[in-house]
Structure 1
Amino acid sequence: MSSLPLPLSGVVKGPALLPIIQADTPAQAVDIAKALSAGGIGSVEVVLRTKEALAGIAAVRNALPDLLVGAGTILSAADAIAAKAAGAQFLVSPASTPKLLEAMIDCGLPFAPGVATPSEIAMAFEYGLTEVKFFPAHLSGGIEMLRALSSIFQQVRFCPTGGIGQHNLADFLALPNVFVAGGTWLTPAALVKAGHWQQISELAAQATAIATKLKAAA
């Protein structure tokens, strides 16, 4: 394995938010990214859940060079390599296995591996990783679980994703062991399908205000 890459927190731009982009076409990915950027978002995660996801990463990088663009749903070494080739600036996985952790480390990009249990966190920590994605956050114990984990894994910080929305964003970001919050609540499928970009920008602006206030007070 190569040396550990820069932690994800070292590259995330803007507020402590990492909204997910799931697009059917590169043009749609760009539209979503522009709407989020207009609302103050500085970093996005394009998930590899559609056939055009890799092309979407390249298109967003080209259209918004100041936006930090990463790839999510990394499940294999092949995914990591393809995402990097497409222009992804960081990687996020929904789960962790030794092979997947090693592949993402070898890729050289900042990344956050997915964890849901203490054993998975301990495995990531054994690899020298201190920043992980807590997924699915709500179903895995949410805020109370993160509080419990904070006393055990005192050096580990989390990017909770799954079940986060405007209603509980402040509660998650107020936790000292949370460095960024991710999810799809800023890009609802219905708004994306209808092309309601202004509404997505408004949601992003509301979340940006919450995140900015919470982290400024930290």
Structure 2
Amino acid sequence: MAKKITQKTIASNVLKSTEISKEEDFVACTTEIDEKGNCYHSGLLVCFEGELKYFHYTGKKVELIDTLPANLYLKKIDLIDEELICSFLWHCEKLSTEANPTYGFFFDESYYDSNGDYYLKNAKIDITTCVGFCIKVLTGFLKTPYLETADWNITSLDSLGDNKNRFLAYLHNLSITEGISIDELFNKDKLKRILPSEMFSTSFYTKAPIRKIETDEILSLIENHFLTVSAA
């Protein structure tokens, strides 16, 4: 039986960007938190030969940068072995020059392939969020789904609150400006929201695909950890 993940486990494994040791190579899930301790942005951090690279999708562009935000926290991913970090960094470098997503809460089980003629696989359009971007990057490298996104459904959009209707109106405009079928965009099986805190929760699991039932088990612990950190 896997060891139970506790609040103590989380506290001892989550690091702030200023606490990073660059003596070992690693890949990590990251989150940026606001002044209240809410996770609002997801990314990936690569440490290779003493250098750090922050890889993320801002909602407007893909960035692979050296500068780390002051409000960045990370948890190393055990799914990627240390001897593969160099290959993973190359994967990110290649995608940083090719990937050009459009923002939207749209999860269609597509992924990013750095070895093919075109980076996007299993879809015709690349619509995603910062969370979806990380999932596509990891899935493409692992050659197996990183997260079982089908476990989430359209009701997860309710977490947008008043912004839900704005997002649906945005999708309608997107169909016009990009020439995308309304039926394709408004697919109830693909419209969903996966929270940055849920994405961060995945970093504590070591077998893919990671399931929602697993992230649900520790989600409140993750969110409480960051609320405590921000209050300190």
TM-score calculated relative to the size of structure 2: 0.24
Larger Rg: 2
Question: When you count strand as a share of all residues, which structure comes out higher?
Answer: 2
TM-score (norm 1): 0.25
